Structure 1
């Protein structure tokens, strides 16, 4: 179940491919994860906390491909992965209908519709796989992401006060958001 049909679209003269992650993407996924965590405080890890080996990343990707409840998709431009999107579901019967989104796109590719298209692919996969509640958490200051999520139909369900510590030791809050399909 952890696969989607590949999608292509063009923007600003670039062809962007949205596809499920493959085991051979391991090194690129490690690199893009480190890069996006360096570019923003909005994500949950510091770059040095991205520490999987290529072997461990390959095993993780394979587990996502084999999973009945998880999805790992990537945007690719000119053979290079420039972001990552995950939907993590549940095998427990009472929450089998729920999944949590994770999304990150390299800064230089923001504003090109990549995040929107990743989310749309993930939402379509969720519909096809019996998931009808998708949740996510977003930094309260990540206005661009919040705007996208609202446009896609997500609603703010609550505020997560002081839920993340920044590098300078201060705290920031977030929103819990959900989309009911």
Structure 2
């Protein structure tokens, strides 16, 4: 699905959040790879499950056509600073929900980009008869967990020792969900 572009000015940084377009595919491939290498909060290490330009074009095309998917990008000047996706399924028993994922380049942390991607996704879901948004977050990502809680998400469960990080230790994944009020 495609939504209207919204402009933001946070701490002297102007940016827009808009629906992804096929011409974003090359930049998205590079940004996703960089984000995966900047933090252990993602499911992948840098280079794993790599999506190339044609792969992103395919995803963007599908998400644009699907009423249950939303692919947003945050653009700062001519750069993509972050992105989010809501992905739904057409299976009748789970067609009422979508799964949310987000990534922001580290240099753009602290400008409300993740928060605004989340808020726009919530608004889209609420406006499009989507009853539930789910997500997974690493237990150590306390800022994200607080952001999600502040936006109506609740902890629904914990996947024990779910992620092996670079320190050789296993960490829990927190499963969260938000029901449409």
Shorter-chain TM band? over 0.9
What TM-score does the superposition give when structure 1 sets the normalisation length? 0.95
**Paired residues of 1:18 and 1:75 also in contact (CA < 8 A):** yes
Stretch deviating more after TM superposition (16-25 or 156-165) = 156-165
Secondary structure of 2:137 counterpart: strand
User: Which residue is equivalent to 1:166?
Assistant: 165
Q: Does 1:22 align with 2:12?
A: no
Shift of 1:168: 4.3
Where do 1:46-85 residues align within 5 Å?
A: 46-85=45-84
Aligned to 1:143: 142
- Residues 83 and 106, structure 1, Cα contact 8 Å, conserved in 2: yes
Output the TM-score relative to the length of structure 2. 0.95
Match of 1:156 in 2: 155
Query: What is the DSSP-based 3-state SS (H/G/I as helix, E as strand, rest coil) of the residue aligned with 1:16?
Result: strand
3-state secondary structure, aligned to 2:41: coil
Indicate the RMSD between aligned Cα atoms, in angstroms: 1.2
How many pairs align? Answer: 180
Q: Any stretches of 5+ residues in structure 2 without a counterpart?
A: none
Does residue 1:35 correspond to 2:34, yes or no?
yes
Aligned counterparts of 1:153 and 1:57: Cα–Cα separation in 2: 30
CA distance in 1, matches of 2:108, 2:126: 27
Aligned to 1:127: 126
- Render the CA deviation track for 1:110-148: whole Å, top value 9, x for unaligned: 111111110111011111211011110100000110111
Q: CA deviation at 1:62?
A: 1.0
> Are residues 1:177 and 2:176 paired?
yes
Displacement of 1:12 in angstroms is: 2.0
In structure 2, distance between residues paired with 1:52 and 1:11: 30
After superposing the two structures, state which structure 1 stretch, 44-53 or 150-159, moved more. 44-53
Could you tell me how far apart the structure 1 residues matched to 2:171 and 2:108 are? Answer: 25
Local SS of the residue matching 1:131: coil
Q: C-alpha distance in 1, partners of 2:110/2:88? A: 28
Say whether the 8 Å CA contact 2:101–2:135 is kept in structure 1: yes
